[in-house]
């Protein structure tokens, strides 16, 4: 049984650390839970060097290397993804969790594992697990259970994690992914081994240079700060089949999972907050060999691009060892991805299942589902990303348009609302992907934060298509709507932006001719490039209200008429 050292217990601050970790090489680990700015675990020794900037030449060389490797070796890749659920309280107690809150302000005897404290299952965790299992096309376990996973670490106050071992809540599903057009496109289906419920651990922060040495009388190796706000936060772990073969496929699989949990509303999926964390398992084998190679796990992947680059590096590292006859040096271990140096480094030897000594959680009952409960969740599922992409394809949109629009659920909702008001599908897609997306990027806004509504975008498209206003005027109105709000018709009326009718355009053309007789004579003498000059003069007089197509038609008729 692990014992804990408690010092100066206060209402919102606890100092604790397993005593078995207190001494090492005549030194000590000192665990503190003070709120200060510190480095993360991956930065405990030094700040990372500046990021390496990739060049087109470097990317091409990397691609050539990977292409050469793929002819001799096959990569086998699987991903374990932890999704932090957007519940109001933790998995087994009533403590709330708010990212960024002051350390140790959301802890209680239950999530700290104090004697006599009993956990109670948060029903939302089960609901979200069933929802994700159904969305991943899994078979649900109508009778599942929780298990204790034993391991000892300063961020795990109980000395065990409540998880699911041999009877997960969902198994045997798949996830469909469309690869980006710029990388060749294509459709992939990746198997899902299992989805299970568990609780998160706390968070360790590594302080600089033993800054708390004045508080104790013995030497310090380094200082650990423990924040238990995250301890007990509900997670769903999604384990994929080893179906991926490249870093790109793995990154796109992870991105699709992020889209899925956001569409379902079970998690915000923010990787920078740790709401979606991926551990990648990579091995290679000579082409034609059926036996798997030695698996290596990579941690510390906090972006999709990191997943891609880390896997590509690891494939190249293992292939080099194979080619040098050193395949026995590829050992089952956990490695970290160092973003600064763009390489993986050894973290620790991989623990096996026996190390965890699983057994059924005695303080929690079985999780029993019934058909009515599952059917009600099934009927409440929204249109998922894969379904939405196929629907957009059927509308005649290109795959590039489809991937952009379906990537963000809020953009997809805005697009659907716009075409729901009768807007032309392709024109709506063009406006959203063009000027609206550019404005959001420049102003660092989401589509929910701009003041343009879907109804007004549909009205703007109709006004341009119906020749009430020109495309140029339409853009001006669009930017005003995004910045200030309002209505299309209101702005048109207020600023008198209605396009000139044919008779008005004819009068303006005649006026330009009368004011520029020399240029008119030169045009009729064969200098036809002056047509652009006349069109520009008319647009200037009309203040942009002349329809370009109609103007050019009238202009040509009058320029080519016999004098």
Give residue-wise pLDDT tens across range 197-211: 999 999 988 765 444
pLDDT at 59: 59
pLDDT confidence band for 29 (50 / 70 / 90): very low
Higher pLDDT, 470 or 28: 470
What sections of 408-526 are H helices per DSSP?
409-420, 425-431, 437-443, 454-465, 471-484, 488-495, 502-515, 517-524
Q: Which residue matches tokens 């000579």? A: 286
pLDDT at 560: 81
Higher pLDDT, 211 or 491: 491
Rounded to whole angstroms, what are the CA distances from 390 to 21, 171, 184, 393, 513?
54, 25, 18, 5, 54
SS3 175: strand
Please report the domains of the chain, with CATH numbers, ordered by start residue. Answer: 2-52+73-351 (no CATH), 381-495 (no CATH), 502-561 (1.10.10.410)
User: Measured between alpha carbons, how far is 249 from 75 in angstroms, rounded to an integer?
Assistant: 11
- Above 50 in pLDDT, residue 215? no
Higher pLDDT, 75 or 40: 75
Question: Is the pTM for the entire model greater than 0.75?
Answer: yes
Contact 171, 141 (CB under 8 A): yes
Contact 384, 261 (CB under 8 A): no
- Above 70 in pLDDT, residue 270? yes
497 contact partners, CB below 8 Å, separation of at least 6: 469, 473, 477, 491, 545
Q: Which residue matches tokens 């038609």? A: 553
Mean pLDDT throughout 327-343?
92
Nearest CA to 459 among 422, 429, 484, 433?
422
- Above 90 in pLDDT, residue 314? yes
Nearest CA to 91 among 217, 233, 201?
233
Query: What pLDDT, in 10s, does the model give residues 271-311?
Result: 999 999 999 999 999 999 999 999 999 987 889 999 999 99
- Above 70 in pLDDT, residue 16? no
pLDDT at 222: 58
- Above 60 in pLDDT, residue 503? yes
Query: What pLDDT, in 10s, does the model give residues 94-134?
Result: 999 999 899 999 999 998 889 999 999 999 999 999 999 99
Burial pattern 422-443, b for ≥16 Cβ within 10 A else e, equals ebbeebbbebbbeebeebbeee
- Above 60 in pLDDT, residue 10? no
Q: Which residue matches tokens 């997809």? A: 412
Higher pLDDT, 56 or 190: 190
pLDDT at 378: 97
pLDDT confidence band for 68 (50 / 70 / 90): confident
Rounded to whole angstroms, what are the CA distances from 183 to 63, 180, 219?
12, 6, 54
- What does pLDDT average to over the chain? 85
Least-confidence region, from 87-91, 243-247, 408-412, 512-516: 512-516
pLDDT at 26: 38
pLDDT confidence band for 371 (50 / 70 / 90): very high
Least-confidence region, from 20-29, 131-140, 187-196, 551-560: 20-29
pLDDT at 189: 97
Higher pLDDT, 43 or 430: 430
Contact 49, 181 (CB under 8 A): no
Rounded to whole angstroms, what are the CA distances from 237 to 84, 129, 169, 279?
9, 10, 11, 11
pLDDT at 47: 35
Share of the chain above pLDDT 90, in %: 61
pLDDT at 172: 98
pLDDT at 1: 30
């Amino acid at each position: 049984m692990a014992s804990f050292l408690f010092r100066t217990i206060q209402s919102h601050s606890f100092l604790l650390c397993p005593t078995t970790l207190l001494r090492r090489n005549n030194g000590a680990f000192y665990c503190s839970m003070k709120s200060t700015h510190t480095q993360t675990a991956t930065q405990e020794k030094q700040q990372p060097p500046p990021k390496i900037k990739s060049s087109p030449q470097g990317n091409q060389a990397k691609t050539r290397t990977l292409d050469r490797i793929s002819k001799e070796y096959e990569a086998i890749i699987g991903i374990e993804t932890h999704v932090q659920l957007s519940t109001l309280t933790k998995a087994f107690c009533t403590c709330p969790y708010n990212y960024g809150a002051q350390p140790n302000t959301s802890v209680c005897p239950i999530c700290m594992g104090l004697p006599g404290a009993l956990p109670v299952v948060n029903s939302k965790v089960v609901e979200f697990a069933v929802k994700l299992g159904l969305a991943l096309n899994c078979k649900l376990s109508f009778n599942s259970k929780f298990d204790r996973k034993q391991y000892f670490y300063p961020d795990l106050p109980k000395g065990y994690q409540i998880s699911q071992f041999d009877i997960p809540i969902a198994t045997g599903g798949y996830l469909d992914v469309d690869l980006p057009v710029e990388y060749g496109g294509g459709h992939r289906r990746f198997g899902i081994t299992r989805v299970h419920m568990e609780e998160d651990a706390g968070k360790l922060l590594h302080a600089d240079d033993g800054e708390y040495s004045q508080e104790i009388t013995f030497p310090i190796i380094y200082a650990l700060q423990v924040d238990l706000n995250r301890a007990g936060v509900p997670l769903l772990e999604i384990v994929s089949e080893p179906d991926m073969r490249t870093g790109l496929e793995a990154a796109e699989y992870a991105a699709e999972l992020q889209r899925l949990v956001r569409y379902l509303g079970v998690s915000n999926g923010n990787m920078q907050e740790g709401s979606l964390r991926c551990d990648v398992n990579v091995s290679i084998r000579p082409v034609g060999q059926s036996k798997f190679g030695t698996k290596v796990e990579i941690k510390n992947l906090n972006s999709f691009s990191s997943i891609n680059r880390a896997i590509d590096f690891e494939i190249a590292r293992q292939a080099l060892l194979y080619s040098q006859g050193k395949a026995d040096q590829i050992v089952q271990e956990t490695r970290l991805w160092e973003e600064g140096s763009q390489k993986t480094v050894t973290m620790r030897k991989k623990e096996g299942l026996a190390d965890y000594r699983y057994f059924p959680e005695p303080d929690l009952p079985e999780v029993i589902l019934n058909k009515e409960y599952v059917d009600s969740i099934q009927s409440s599922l929204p249109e998922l990303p894969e379904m939405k992409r196929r629907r957009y394809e059927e509308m005649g949109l290109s795959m590039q348009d489809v991937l952009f629009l379906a990537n963000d659920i809020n953009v997809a909702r805005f697009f659907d609302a716009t075409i729901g008001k009768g807007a032309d599908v392709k024109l709506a897609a063009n406006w959203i992907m063009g000027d609206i997306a550019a404005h959001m990027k420049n102003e660092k806004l989401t589509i929910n934060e701009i003041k343009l509504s879907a109804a007004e975008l549909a009205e703007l498209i109709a006004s341009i298509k119906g020749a009430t206003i020109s495309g140029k005027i339409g853009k001006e109105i669009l930017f005003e709507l995004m910045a200030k709000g309002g209505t299309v018709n209101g702005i048109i009326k207020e600023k008198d932006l209605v396009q000139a009718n044919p008779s008005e355009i004819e009068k303006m053309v005649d006026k330009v001719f009368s004011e520029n007789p020399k240029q008119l004579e030169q045009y009729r003498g064969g200098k036809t490039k002056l047509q652009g000059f006349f069109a520009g003069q008319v647009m200037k007089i009309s203040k942009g209200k002349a329809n370009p197509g109609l103007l050019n038609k009238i202009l040509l008729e009058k320029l080519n008429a016999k004098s």
